[in-house]
């Protein structure tokens, strides 16, 4: 190799004879790279100033696995800093490690399911599957549960943030080194092995990323090259009122070109190097504004999101980007040609809050069916799948809130009421227009609240238990795996039956219409047991019961509606030309459709 030829890239750049290094430190007077390869001597590998604040050095003999840092001098300041682009760390407060980003992906050509045929399983690696009680969960532990997830039927897992964070126990929303994969979870190789195995199982992987703040602890980026203003964070951060976030004054400077490139490069690393199928952005509200107000907006945060989303979309494999904004802002998922931020979808507070309220309210009279109707029909920019719908997420089952069964009955979260009404919430999630998501353990009624120190007890969860079967069947119907519920993958919904007095809602879902497509969902949110409940139907004939949440198949103490079909006559009802009646059990839901062989 001609060592006079500089290599492109940032951080540690491998080549045949050693490793080249590049770092951005515009206010440094001198920079040296120190590490195992030079016995940590500051005078051995002084870096060359390239201009525009960049420094470069080529170190023959440096190799994969060597630890290193940058020694920065500015006036009387002498600083040791980890590589902002380090792909691996010994730990969040340790050293950068030279990592080989090459990996044998085999013939991985996985393509994520279309967004209308996507079911997401949100998980926290540290608690999802621990080999022993005193060991934090790892990527390998998740890999060992892929057969279970495939059995359940989900086709995407969304991993809570896994960039290197302080300590071993964390939700992950305190990233110290955004390019390094959490060492306690198994590091970069462990994550790549998980993604490869997930793809082989037909499951996509979405990474949760945190760009609204960094740290705030174990943060080598803070005053990285010694410069700062107003006692703030220096070159990687805003140094004025825009630095303020709910997590400290650590908002990146989205207006500075080098910082924009740093964040964009990180997003592309997850997509290109780790074969991620998408990204979920933590709390974009605090990327686009300081505090959610228009008066304190950050326009450059908006344009950064547009850029990243545009580049993610350009990759092959049907990639998805999801925003957690929670302000019912249609511009989040609008195309940038209309001034939007280019996200594919966004978490939707229009479903989670009313849905949790109607199933957790103590008295039936407190359940508002109009709120259910509104939640079902809400959408952004005319796209039903521009929203992610859920009743549990890591936020909704912590911070003073509990899992839905515990919110229903804290003393008896496994009891009849908790099981029946939490099942109603699940039915709404999987039949509402949108991308359905569940949180780890929801499918076997995990109770209490989410804590990063409290792992899932898989022995208590059991194997393929009755509640798991309910979720598995709902997922299969949502994804139309039997070809009988195409409507649940369609854009369209019609809610003509809203009975607030008796607490019943019925709605129609369809893609193109006709037998096998038109799908009817009926939900009884009250304790009343109906022997003959009538609703309108769009077509006459025999409508098959595809799912009954009150079936004894899902619990030994459930009674079931006791029917396999509903005969629909030409009696008008609910502004439909046809109607039918059927038994409807307390706190239960039915899903019906016609066989394709029938004439509409």
**8 Å CB contact between 167 and 124:** no
174 and 285 belong to one structural domain: yes
Assign residue 552 the CATH number of its domain: 2.60.40.1180
Q: Which residue has the tokens 């511009």?
A: 331
State in Å, rounded, how far the first CA of the chain is from the last one: 72
Assign residue 165 the CATH number of its domain: 3.20.20.80
Structure pTM?
0.97
Distance separating alpha carbons of residues 66 and 585, to the nearest angstrom: 65
pLDDT (tens, 9 = 90+) of the chain, 600 residues, equals 344 589 999 999 999 999 999 999 999 999 999 999 999 999 999 999 999 999 999 999 999 999 999 999 999 999 999 999 999 999 999 999 999 999 999 999 999 999 999 999 999 999 999 988 778 999 999 999 999 999 999 999 999 999 999 999 999 999 999 999 999 999 999 999 999 999 999 999 999 999 999 999 999 999 999 999 999 999 999 999 999 999 999 999 999 999 999 999 999 999 999 999 999 999 999 999 999 998 999 999 999 999 999 999 999 999 999 999 999 999 999 999 999 999 999 999 999 999 999 999 999 999 999 999 999 999 999 999 999 999 999 999 999 999 999 999 999 999 999 999 999 999 999 999 999 999 999 999 999 999 999 999 898 787 778 999 999 999 999 999 999 999 999 999 999 999 999 999 999 999 999 999 999 999 999 999 999 999 999 999 999 999 999 999 999 999 999 999 999 999 999 999 999 999 999 999 999 999 988 654
75 and 207 belong to one structural domain: no
Q: Is the peptide bond before 216 cis (omega within 30 degrees of 0)?
A: yes
**Tokens describing residue 500:** 């607030």
User: Strand 67-74 to strand 77-81: parallel, antiparallel, or no bridges (unpaired)?
Assistant: antiparallel
Nearest CA among 341, 506, 385 for reference residue 114: 385
Of 347, 371, 405, the one marking the end of a domain is 347
Over residues 245-278, the pLDDT tens digits come to: 999 999 999 999 999 999 999 999 999 999 999 9
SS3 assignment for 230-291: CCCCCCCECCCHHHCEECECCCECCCCHHHHHHHHHHHHHHHHCCCCCEEEECCCHHHHECC
* Run of H or E residues at 384: none
- Find the domain containing 278 and state its range: 115-347
**Tokens describing residue 507:** 């709605």
Residues, the chain: 600
Residue 144, in any domain of the structure: yes
Residue 392, in any domain of the structure: no
> What's the CA angle centered on 404, arms 397 and 504, to 5 degrees?
140
Residue 390, in any domain of the structure: no
Longest dimension (CA), the chain: 91
224 and 282 belong to one structural domain: yes
* Distances 48 to 35, 52, 138, 310, 503 between C-alpha atoms, Å: 17, 12, 40, 34, 73
Contacts of 383 (CB under 8 A, 6+ apart): 333, 491
Residue 300, in any domain of the structure: yes
In 10 A of CB 554, how many CB atoms?
Answer: 22
141 and 266 belong to one structural domain: yes
Nearest CA among 192, 148, 184, 155 for reference residue 441: 148
Distance separating alpha carbons of residues 535 and 552, to the nearest angstrom: 24
305 and 197 belong to one structural domain: yes
37 and 141 belong to one structural domain: no
76 and 122 belong to one structural domain: no
24 and 155 belong to one structural domain: no
Nearest CA among 538, 520, 512 for reference residue 584: 520
Distance separating alpha carbons of residues 593 and 427, to the nearest angstrom: 15
568 and 490 belong to one structural domain: yes
Q: Which residue has the tokens 């340790």?
A: 94
| Residue 246 phi, psi (nearest 5) | -65, -10
Count of structural domains within the chain: 3
Residue 373, in any domain of the structure: no
Residue 216, in any domain of the structure: yes
Nearest CA among 368, 440, 344, 431 for reference residue 127: 440
Over residues 31-68, the pLDDT tens digits come to: 999 999 999 999 999 999 999 999 999 999 999 999 99
171 and 292 belong to one structural domain: yes
Of 300, 324, 347, the one marking the end of a domain is 347
548 and 494 belong to one structural domain: yes
187 and 71 belong to one structural domain: no
Residue 357, in any domain of the structure: no
Of 347, 370, 402, the one marking the end of a domain is 347
**8 Å CB contact between 69 and 24:** no
Is residue 423 classed as helix, strand or coil in its secondary structure? helix
Residue 209, in any domain of the structure: yes
């Amino acid at each position: 190799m001609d060592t006079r030829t500089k290599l492109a890239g940032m951080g540690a750049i491998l080549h045949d004879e050693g490793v080249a290094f590049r770092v951005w430190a515009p206010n440094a007077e001198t920079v040296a790279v120190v590490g195992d390869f030079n016995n940590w001597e500051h005078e051995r590998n002084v870096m060359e100033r390239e201009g525009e604040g960049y420094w470069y050095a080529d170190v023959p003999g440096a190799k994969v696995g060597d630890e290193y840092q940058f020694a920065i001098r500015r006036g009387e300041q002498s600083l040791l800093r980890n590589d902002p682009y380090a792909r691996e760390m010994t730990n969040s407060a340790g050293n950068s490690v030279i990592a080989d980003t090459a990996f044998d992906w085999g013939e991985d050509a996985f393509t994520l399911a279309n967004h209308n045929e996507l079911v997401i399983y949100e998980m926290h690696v540290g608690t999802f599957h621990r080999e022993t009680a005193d060991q934090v969960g790892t990527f390998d532990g998740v890999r060992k549960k892929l057969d279970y997830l495939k059995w359940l039927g989900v086709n995407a897992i969304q991993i809570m943030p896994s960039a290197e964070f302080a300590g071993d126990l964390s939700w992950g929303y305190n990233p110290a080194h955004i390019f390094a994969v959490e060492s306690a979870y198994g590091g970069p190789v462990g994550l790549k092995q998980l993604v490869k195995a997930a793809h082989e199982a037909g499951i996509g992987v979405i990474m949760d990323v945190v760009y609204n703040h960094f740290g705030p602890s174990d943060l080598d980026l803070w005053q990285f090259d010694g410069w700062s203003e107003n006692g703030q964070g220096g070159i990687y951060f805003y140094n004025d009122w825009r630095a303020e976030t709910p997590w400290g004054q650590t908002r990146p400077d989205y207006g500075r070109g080098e910082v924009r490139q740093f964040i964009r490069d990180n997003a592309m690393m997850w997509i290109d190097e780790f074969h991620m199928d998408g990204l979920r952005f933590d709390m974009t509200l605090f990327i686009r504004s300081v505090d959610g107000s228009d008066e304190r907006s950050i326009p450059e945060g908006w344009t950064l999101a547009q850029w990243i989303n545009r580049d993610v979309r350009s990759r092959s494999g049907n990639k998805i980007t999801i925003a957690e904004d929670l302000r019912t802002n249609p511009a989040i998922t609008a195309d940038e040609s209309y001034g939007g931020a280019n996200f594919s979808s966004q978490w939707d507070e229009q479903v989670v809050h009313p849905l949790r309220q109607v199933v957790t309210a103590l008295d039936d009279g407190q359940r508002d069916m109009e709120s259910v109707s509104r939640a079902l029909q809400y959408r952004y920019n005319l796209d039903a799948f521009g929203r992610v719908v859920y009743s549990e997420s890591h936020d909704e089952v912590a911070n003073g809130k509990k899992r839905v069964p515990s919110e229903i009955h804290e003393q008896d979260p496994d009891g009849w009421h908790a099981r029946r009404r939490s099942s109603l919430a699940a039915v709404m999630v999987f039949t509402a227009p949108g991308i359905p998501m569940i949180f780890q353990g929801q499918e076997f009624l995990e109770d209490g609240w989410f804590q990063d120190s409290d792992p899932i007890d898989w022995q208590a969860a059991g194997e393929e238990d009755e509640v798991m079967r309910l979720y598995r069947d709902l997922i299969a119907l949502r994804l139309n795996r039997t070809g009988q519920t195409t409507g649940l993958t369609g854009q369209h919904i019609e809610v003509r039956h809203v009975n607030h007095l008796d607490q019943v809602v019925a709605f129609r879902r369809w893609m193109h219409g006709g037998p096998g497509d038109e799908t009817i969902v009926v939900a009884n949110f009250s304790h009343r047991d109906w022997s003959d409940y009538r609703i309108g139907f769009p077509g006459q004939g025999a409508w098959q019961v595809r799912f009954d949440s009150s079936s004894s198949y899902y619990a030994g103490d459930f009674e079931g509606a006791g029917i396999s079909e509903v005969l629909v006559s030409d009696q008008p009802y609910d502004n439909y030309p046809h109607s039918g009646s059927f038994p409807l059990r307390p706190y239960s839901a039915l899903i019906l459709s016609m066989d394709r062989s029938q004439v509409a």
